[in-house]
Structure 1
Amino acid sequence: MACRSPMPPQEHPMSRRLKWFIAFDLIVIGILLIVYFAPLGEQRPAISTAGDALLGQELLHSAGCIACHSQEGGPAMAGGPRLDTPFGDFYAPNISSSLSHGIGAWSLVEFEAALRQGVSPAGLPYYPAFPFASYRSLTDADVVHLYQALLATEPVDQASEPHRLAFPFNIRLGLKPWRWLFATTRSLEIDQGSELGRGRYLVDAVGHCGECHNPRNSLGAFIPPYLGGNSLIPGGVGAPPIHGAALLARDWTADDISYFLADGLLPDGDVVGGSMVEVIEMGTSHLNQTDRDAIAAYLLSLVPRGR
């Protein structure tokens, strides 16, 4: 009688599940390590141009720095009011010249990394409530002008209000994969040699209009169409579409836009409300007529598109 070959030993189902569990854990750990040690931002050439604090003072208005980083009735640049968002409450920090609580001890390299790369001097990523995704296209000259203007401010030795965010948005590590998926720090390299180019620079970079007027997905990332309106911005109000097609549909002319940016007066004679009051009073009203006209020309030239 022929002998049968012995059956190979069967792997226990529990052992098989344990191997898959260990493999999954190792993959997760590997991804977390990659995320943790991956560099933020990009290496840019050192800025060699000189700055002008007076030009920087104008930019502090037009770039929204004063409006965001100052409380009404409080010292300038000592920290801004609460920004209520679906992810929690954000507070713009103290950016006065204070050595202990502001940016007085920052180098130009650190300031550039914060402004255009969204990276703190400690190497931590900033939340996109800070519009580095727009400021990434600021010129070297404007970066230094802003730096000199902030160093010339009155120092305010006052601690910044910490953000109050819900889990998991309070975990900064999650900002790295968010940035890989939705943000870039590469400059748009905007040519300001024409009226449309100047307008684009003021809208897309300095004024960061898309931060409020651009629609976003559930994770807070920009989605098309650019400047297509946002139904919910900090404060619980909406920002209308302001691309050319939408403005023309509402019978806005270039003069209407330019006058609106100067005094907040709507074409029908009413006065704007909400957060645009602050944007105009502390920001666009400080622009010269040529720049306001350039913004109007650029906005009217836009058709709905992605960024």
Structure 2
Amino acid sequence: MSRVIALDIGGTHSRAALVESGHITWRAHVPTPAHDGPEAVVATLTDLLRAERSEPALPIGVAVAGFVERGCVTAHAGLPGWQAFPLATRLSERWGRPVQVFNDARAAAWGEYQHGAGRGCSEFCFVTVSTGVGAGLVLGGRLHRARNGLDAELGETLAADGRPMEEHASGTALTRQAHALGYANASALCDAADAGEPRAEAALQHAVAVLAAKLADLSVLLGITRTAIGGGLGLRPGYLPRLRAALQALPPLYHHELVSATLGGDAGLHGVAALMDRPPSAPP
């Protein structure tokens, strides 16, 4: 299966691509009608694919932000109204062809492993730090996938105060901190930290330290030797150096390589295509 239609559904934009033997040869994107519910998103994706009318009935793979179980999606705040929504079935009914659905961070992890920052590393982690915190794990050269979908929910692991790590380290968490400190949003807080404002720097350092502690855990629990950081917050200039410094401040046992993700927004598209082409593993 060397030709696949790949879709990536995000809370802000959704994108489609034709991936041929690991290369994107056509792409399109459209705003996601996230607040209109999942059926509106399905209709929008259908219109998006009509832009490439000449394509035959190729199989379709979809990456989506949320919990995926047997083609059904339960999403968080970015896609309200998605509660066990049968996305694979709905899209297959619309298009009359096979559809597979994957978590977006897992798909991006496999894309980075196949074509980006994870190449050559058999124990690899991809982390996206954006509105939330998502992750994907490659262990022994295989994408880790669990039947119940709980195979890399890094943002849902608990911090020292008993709250999910995402409530400390995500863009949403930083936006709350930003408002408390008088900044417009997480981006403005990060800009202030980069400019040397102590309160903003302290807030950003707290978020980074919580994530660094979780990455340290992964290095000794799973033998992770390289982690790629992506996402709108994770790819900001200055974020990765802070994260490296926080990890280096821990004992050497916990140190491993931290790099920037290299595929950007295309990681999920590449990952979906690779998963459709040669599935790396199957849930037990």
Higher RCO by CA contacts (8 Å cutoff, separation 6 or greater):
2
TM-score between the two structures when normalised by the length of structure 1: 0.25
Q: Which has the larger radius of gyration?
A: 1
Would you tell me which structure has more strand in proportion to its own residues? Answer: 2
TM-score between the two structures when normalised by the length of structure 2: 0.27
